[in-house]
Amino acid sequence: MSHELPEIGYVRLSQIIGNLKAKPPIPAILPISKSTWWSGIKSGRFPKAVKLGPRITAWRVEDIRALMKQLTK
């Protein structure tokens, strides 16, 4: 992993799957596509999002850490 997750709080989708077109580029925590991420949420494989506002979707850092731990087993 090329960058660290915050200790507590929320992360946005671009922080999870990365965005190489951003300035500066955001490295991926999980190297998967956006469509794979959303289908994984729909199937229950990935954690559900939390709506922080009408146009703000995020995921709990604790849920992402648990997912990473599960995927590395």
What is the residue extent of each domain of the chain? 10-71
Residue type present at position 62: E
Whole-angstrom distance, CA of residue 34 vs CA of residue 32: 7
The pTM is what?
0.86
pLDDT tens for 13-57 read: 999 999 999 999 999 999 999 999 999 999 999 999 999 999 999
User: Which residues are CB-neighbours of 3 under 8 A, at least 6 positions away?
Assistant: 27, 29
How confident is residue 1, by pLDDT bands cut at 50, 70 and 90?
A: very low
Specify the pLDDT at position 2: 44
From 23, 30, 27, 26, select the one nearest 47 (Cα to Cα).
30
